Structure 1
Amino acid sequence: MSEQYLRVCRVTIEGGGKALDASQMRIRFDVHQRDSSTPHHVNIYIYNLSKTTAQAIRKEYRSVTLEAGYESGAGVIFKGEIVQVRILRENVTDTVVHILATSAQRARNFATVNKSLASGHTYRDRIVAAAKALGEFGVTVGHIDDLGPKKFPRGFACFGMARDLLREVCFATGSSWHITNGRLNVVKNDSALPGSVIELNSDTGMIGLPEQTLDGVVVRCLLNYRILPAQKIRISEGSIQQAAFSPAYAGALNNELLQNQLGLAADGIYKALLVEHNGDTRGPNWYTEIVCVKADGGASPSLYARGITEEQT
């Protein structure tokens, strides 16, 4: 394991063929990513830029890339389109440029599909048709799971919003889709992104003890750019704190679920559903917080909320 020492933070703002590196200033950020179609977003706060630079960011720049980590290893934790730029004053002496950006929001909201598929096509062919429409907005294809061998006996007209086609295919195949840093991923609910399992323990940066909740296991660690939505992580079952029961009558069902060890994995392998990075280059915050469920799918209200029933997982 590399040493998690000496923070690294790079913010690159682009637009009109120009790029601005604001990495030398004080920077605060909070990144919000989840294994769902909801666009990921980030709030970036850059301190004490000149008025000229601040105005240029608001008028001329359109995208932002945020990298974070340590000198031993850093990577992109957010890449997306700027939605709003605000120029604020935090106190008498400090001004702040607040950048709100989303990942592929335009692609999700406006990409349309208009394509006919011949008989014998598969679910993957439908995903590819949607991905091509998203590609017109700069989205590339990341990882697409094996969605099964089923071949349709009739042709199919893909017409409408790309997001609706993706939702239909994912519901039918027990999968979910999300766009992370401009890359489309489609992952089965009992699967995860390919690659090695990230170990989370006190030696690798875990902070405090993980806690069981109805929505999954919540765990916090030192900022780790490698943790992505649908990424596999390993947590020792013995370190997870059991959730407290509710004494209310209405809480009886939830208490029963928790009593049956809802969301806990016997092998310690979990899949990240929600990933949030929080950092301040001149403050104490430099954390990643994850909400995760059993990597084999299991039963979780987080899956129900996505319209996925227990039988489909």
Structure 2
Amino acid sequence: MGQQYARNWKASFTVGGKALDPSSLRMRFATQQKDTSTPHVLNLFITNPSRTTIEAIREEYKKVEISAGYDQDIGTIFSGEIIQVRSGRENVVDTYVHILATGSERPRNFAVVNKALAAGHTFRDRVDVAAKALQEYGVSVGHIDDLGNKKFPRNFICFGMAKDLLREVCEATGASWHIHNGKLNILKNQNTLPDGAVVLNSDTGMVGLPEQTLQGVIVRCLLNYRIRPGTKLQINESSIQRAAISPAYAAGAQNTFFRDQSPNEALQSGILGIAADGFYKALLVEHNGDTRGPNWYTEIVCVKADGGYSPALISRGISDAEGN
């Protein structure tokens, strides 16, 4: 990561090759991106746009892309489709337009599969069928982990929603799928994206201290477009603030995730969600920025990169590498 000063950003709205760039106005944005099939979300507020700009966005433009970073080092943090445009007044002086957009919601909700696979096909063959259906809605293939070489002894009819086929494959192979900026990614629960680890400490932009929670370890840093769901993070274990147990009567099950053990037992069991080697996998990434204010951060919820787990993951059917 280079020097993190001299903020830079760009917002563009497009349709049919025609583009609109309101980056000279004040923008406040918040994105939410998960490693699940749930479409990524953008809330974008533009202050004091002209009536012409508001009407153009509402009537003409269908896609929005936000890039952010520092100086010449910027990258895309969101790309998706506009689903609502509304305008209003913040006070007696300032007006705003609010754009709500989602990433690849239409492919997820409308892509269908209808194909027969012969005996001897693999899980990857089923993924390829779903990927082809998504491609018709503009989704390309990103990173797909090795799903094993198991060959099915019978033929298989792929019929129905592409998202259901992907869900079935992921449940069977211990993986999760998501679409990030128009690319389909499938990661095994104990794997991360192959882009290398992003080191987070006070020298690289980490803000405050990471905190252990039931959802995972929460860490905040200066806005970093390189961090996305599935990214590998490196965080010093000693900087993570341990969660406090609850004295509530009904909190017994919750407290088992934070019970007092020797450091080695806690690290090996995964109960505390603290990685001995300092490597974590990003599950939830939120980019928040204000082009004329102090807000310019990325907040991440992460777990151990080699198969960590938490109650939030267990509710999704994801356990640790040993199946606990």
Q: TM-score higher than 0.5 here? A: yes
Q: Give 1:308 deviation, angstroms.
A: 2.6
SS at match of 1:258: coil
SS at match of 2:170: helix
Q: Give 1:307 deviation, angstroms.
A: 2.0
Task: Measure the CA separation in 1 of the matches of 2:29 and 2:106.
Answer: 22
| Aligned counterparts, 1:68-79, within 5 A | 68-79=68-79
Asked whether the equivalents of residues 117 and 157 of structure 1 are also in contact (C-alpha less than 8 Å), the reply is yes
Q: Give 1:172 deviation, angstroms.
A: 0.3
Task: Measure the CA separation in 2 of the matches of 1:109 and 1:14.
Answer: 22
Does 2:169 match 1:169?
Answer: yes
In the TM superposition, what whole-angstrom CA distance separates every residue of 1:216-255 from its partner, at most 9, and x where no partner exists?
A: 1000000000001010000000000000110112112222
Q: Give 1:72 deviation, angstroms.
A: 4.4
- Range 8-17 or range 130-139, more displaced: 8-17
Aligned to 2:113: 113
Amino acid of the structure 2 residue aligned with 1:281: T
Relative to structure 1, the CA distance from residue 236 to residue 72 in structure 2 (aligned partners, 3 Å threshold; closer, same or farther) is farther
Aligned to 2:81: 81
Asked whether the equivalents of residues 308 and 319 of structure 2 are also in contact (C-alpha less than 8 Å), the reply is no
Task: Measure the CA separation in 2 of the matches of 1:237 and 1:72.
Answer: 32
Aligned to 2:37: 37
- Range 92-101 or range 274-283, more displaced: 92-101
| Aligned counterparts, 1:136-215, within 5 A | 136-215=136-215
Aligned to 2:254: 254
Does 2:322 match 1:302?
Answer: no
Asked whether the equivalents of residues 26 and 46 of structure 1 are also in contact (C-alpha less than 8 Å), the reply is yes
Asked whether the equivalents of residues 45 and 99 of structure 1 are also in contact (C-alpha less than 8 Å), the reply is yes
Q: Give 1:312 deviation, angstroms.
A: 4.5
Does 2:293 match 1:283?
Answer: yes
Amino acid of the structure 1 residue aligned with 2:3: E
Q: CA RMSD in A?
A: 1.2
Amino acid of the structure 1 residue aligned with 2:86: R
SS at match of 1:43: strand
Amino acid of the structure 1 residue aligned with 2:307: G
Task: Measure the CA separation in 1 of the matches of 2:164 and 2:285.
Answer: 24
Q: Which runs of 5+ in 1 are unaligned?
A: none
Q: Please, what TM-score do these two structures have when normalized by structure 1?
A: 0.98
Task: Measure the CA separation in 1 of the matches of 2:323 and 2:114.
Answer: 29
Task: Measure the CA separation in 2 of the matches of 1:90 and 1:125.
Answer: 52
SS at match of 1:238: helix
- Range 181-190 or range 64-73, more displaced: 64-73
Q: Please, what TM-score do these two structures have when normalized by structure 2?
A: 0.94
Identity %: 65
Asked whether the equivalents of residues 16 and 60 of structure 1 are also in contact (C-alpha less than 8 Å), the reply is no
Q: Which runs of 5+ in 2 are unaligned?
A: 260-265
Task: Measure the CA separation in 1 of the matches of 2:315 and 2:125.
Answer: 26
| Deviation >3 Å, runs of 4+ | 309-313
Q: Give 1:214 deviation, angstroms.
A: 1.2
- Range 296-305 or range 63-72, more displaced: 296-305
Q: Give 1:210 deviation, angstroms.
A: 0.2
Aligned to 2:135: 135
Asked whether the equivalents of residues 199 and 234 of structure 1 are also in contact (C-alpha less than 8 Å), the reply is yes
Amino acid of the structure 2 residue aligned with 1:96: Y
SS at match of 1:257: coil
Aligned to 1:25: 25
Task: Measure the CA separation in 1 of the matches of 2:315 and 2:114.
Answer: 29
Task: Measure the CA separation in 2 of the matches of 1:100 and 1:15.
Answer: 16
Aligned to 1:11: 11
Task: Measure the CA separation in 2 of the matches of 1:230 and 1:258.
Answer: 25
Task: Measure the CA separation in 2 of the matches of 1:203 and 1:308.
Answer: 33
Does 2:283 match 1:273?
Answer: yes
SS at match of 1:134: helix
In the TM superposition, what whole-angstrom CA distance separates every residue of 1:157-195 from its partner, at most 9, and x where no partner exists?
A: 000000000000000000000000010000000001111
Task: Measure the CA separation in 1 of the matches of 2:221 and 2:309.
Answer: 25
Q: Give 1:31 deviation, angstroms.
A: 0.4
In the TM superposition, what whole-angstrom CA distance separates every residue of 1:44-99 from its partner, at most 9, and x where no partner exists?
A: 11111111111111011000000001114110000000000111111111111111
